[in-house]
């Protein structure tokens, strides 16, 4: 990219228009009046995991995008969609034309299940499976086979509960959500009766929130069950008070599940604890998964040698996420974040959200990251007369790339709402080409940029 005319305004590019990116943009706009912030996103649409990660039956959680829309309406903030770093432009190019670059592109890849048979057809990571039922363009063609009676979800966090709930919830209830059309059709033909949620440790070590667990007790024609043999007597007094309260609530839920009648509903969500995957069984596709019983000693999971198997036709692993590499930047040893010094990678280059701290916390956790980085940029970065979007726009045009702006997104959103079935908030389009067609129809002259 070539520099254009000089400006005295601070120019900042944020790569990633999910919660981390939006919180950083809002904080910058507040702390650095007059700055110009460009939110660069690989998809034509904003909001990241709000659209592709939050469960479709949790519409209240998705309402945070109304706050982000207010942020996007600021005159000094610009959305630049359908532009991918390392595909359409290099990080060095951004750094050359912006005073600061903030990476907010998350940890979108699944940690791999490293056991024999894990590459068989029917084994999916949580990120791709959740993306499939949320109409993410990267995963629209997943096409899982739900013809078997059993499914296994490996992991003991809220994502595992989301998947179990979506797989068992009645289709008539899912129809009033923004679940992908292809997913609801697949689930409508599902033969699943039992979804097993399996964790390596015991009930008190599970990362479920009590609100999510309690929700399972109110699903129609679905019963959550657990084994009383796996229930501890109680929570140790030495656990910090806040953590102890959370564990007590979860234990109450699990004890209630242990008393539930498995035959009281046509579908079951079954909790299995102290079990780690040993190998996946099957010839051409998944037929079962074998687990080894475990115990915890001094904080470590120890195998007991006792094996058991769960028949299934689907396995979803919710065991963690990996970061997407950015250029030549170094990943952490755990591969789930970039190496950084409290959000700073090097002069003028910063990172927020999961890419900074790893995949942890809730949506609102990203707010603190954004505020911290905005303050660092305010203190550490001065305007250097860089052109910002003027140069970015010139580079994208010279490469024949079609980017989307916020008015394009609003056109896509209107089309989603118009396409929705009665009672549903929207029907998302899982095709980038289809989204760009909608934008072209809105503004044919711009479509050729």
pLDDT mean over 120-131 = 98
DSSP 249-308: HHHHHHHHHHHS-GGGSSEEEEEE-SEEEEEEE-SSB--EEEEEEEEEETTEEEEEEEEE
Residue 171 belongs to a domain with what CATH number?
A: 3.50.50.60
Q: What is the DSSP letter of 335?
A: S
Residue 74 belongs to a domain with what CATH number?
A: 3.40.50.720
Q: What is the mean pLDDT of the chain?
A: 94
Q: Express each pLDDT in 426-437 by its tens digit.
A: 999 999 999 999
**pLDDT > 50? residue 448:** no
pLDDT for 66 equals 94
Pull the structure tokens for residue 4. Answer: 């254009």
Cα(221)–Cα(117) distance, integer angstroms: 33
pLDDT mean over 53-72 = 95
Q: Lowest mean pLDDT: which of 4-18, 151-165, 265-279, 372-386?
A: 4-18
Q: Please state the domain count of the chain.
A: 2
pLDDT bucket at 166, cuts 50 / 70 / 90: very high
Q: Express each pLDDT in 219-261 by its tens digit.
A: 999 999 999 999 999 998 888 999 999 999 999 999 999 999 9
What are the residues whose beta carbons fall under 8 Å from the beta carbon of 240, sequence distance 6 or more?
none
Q: Express each pLDDT in 327-341 by its tens digit.
A: 999 999 999 999 999
Q: Express each pLDDT in 92-105 by its tens digit.
A: 999 999 999 999 99
pLDDT for 443 equals 59
Q: Express each pLDDT in 19-28 by its tens digit.
A: 999 999 999 9
Q: Express each pLDDT in 378-404 by its tens digit.
A: 999 999 999 999 999 999 999 999 999
Residues 315 and 339 in one domain: no
What's the pTM? 0.94
- The residues pairing with 124 across neighbouring beta strands, listed in sequence order, are 316
pLDDT for 75 equals 92
Residues 139 and 176 in one domain: yes
What is each CA distance from 219 to 120, 168, 214, in whole angstroms? 32, 9, 10
Between strands 109-110 and 321-322, the pairing is: antiparallel
Contact of 271 with 254, CB cutoff 8 Å: yes
**pLDDT > 80? residue 444:** no
Residues 124 and 97 in one domain: no
Residues 303 and 356 in one domain: no
pLDDT for 442 equals 72
Residues 162 and 302 in one domain: yes
Cα(316)–Cα(195) distance, integer angstroms: 10
Domain that holds residue 187: 111-320
Residue spans of alpha helices (H) in 124-281? 126-133, 158-168, 171-174, 181-188, 210-216, 241-259
């Amino acid at each position: 990219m070539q520099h254009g005319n000089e400006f005295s305004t601070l120019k900042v590019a944020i790569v990633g228009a999910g919660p981390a990116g939006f919180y950083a943009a809002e904080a910058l706009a507040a702390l650095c009046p007059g700055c110009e912030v460009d939110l660069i996103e690989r998809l034509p649409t904003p909001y990241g995991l709000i659209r592709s990660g939050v469960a479709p039956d949790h519409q209240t959680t998705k309402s945070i995008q109304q706050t982000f829309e207010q942020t996007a309406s600021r005159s000094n903030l610009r959305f630049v969609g359908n532009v991918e770093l390392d595909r359409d432009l290099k990080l060095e190019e951004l750094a050359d034309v912006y005073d600061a670059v903030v990476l907010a592109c998350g940890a979108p890849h699944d940690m791999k299940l490293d056991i024999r048979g894990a590459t068989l057809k029917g084994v999916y990571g949580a990120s791709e499976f959740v993306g499939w039922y949320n109409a993410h363009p990267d995963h629209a063609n997943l096409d899982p086979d739900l013809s078997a009676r059993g499914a296994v979800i490996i992991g003991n966090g809220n994502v595992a509960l989301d998947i179990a709930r979506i797989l068992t919830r009645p289709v008539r209830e899912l129809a009033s959500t923004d679940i992908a059309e292809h997913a609801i059709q697949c689930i409508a033909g599902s033969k699943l009766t039992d979804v097993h949620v399996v964790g390596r440790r015991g009930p008190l070590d599970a990362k479920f929130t009590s609100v999510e667990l309690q929700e399972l007790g109110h699903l129609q024609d679905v019963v959550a069950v657990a084994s009383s043999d796996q229930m501890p007597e109680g929570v140790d007094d030495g656990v910090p008070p806040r953590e102890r309260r959370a564990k007590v609530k979860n234990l109450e839920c699990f004890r209630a599940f242990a008393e539930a009648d498995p035959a009281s509903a046509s579908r079951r969500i079954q909790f299995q604890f102290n079990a780690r995957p040993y190998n996946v069984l099957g010839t051409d596709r998944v037929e079962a998964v074998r687990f080894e019983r475990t115990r915890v000693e001094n904080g470590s999971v120890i195998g007991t040698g006792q094996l058991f198997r769960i028949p299934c036709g689907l396995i979803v692993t919710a065991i963690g996420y990996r970061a997407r590499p950015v250029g030549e930047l170094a990943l952490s040893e755990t591969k789930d974040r970039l190496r950084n010094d409290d959000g700073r990678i090097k002069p003028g280059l910063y990172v927020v959200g999961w890419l900074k701290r790893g995949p942890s916390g809730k949506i609102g956790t990203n707010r603190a990251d954004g505020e911290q980085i905005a303050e660092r940029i305010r203190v550490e970065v001065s305007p250097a007369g860089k052109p910002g979007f003027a140069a970015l726009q010139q580079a994208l045009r010279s490469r024949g790339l079609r980017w989307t702006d916020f008015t394009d997104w609003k056109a896509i959103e209107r089309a989603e709402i118009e396409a929705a079935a009665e009672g549903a908030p929207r029907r998302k389009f899982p095709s980038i080409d289809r989204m760009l067609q909608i934008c072209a129809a809105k503004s044919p002259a711009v479509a050729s940029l």
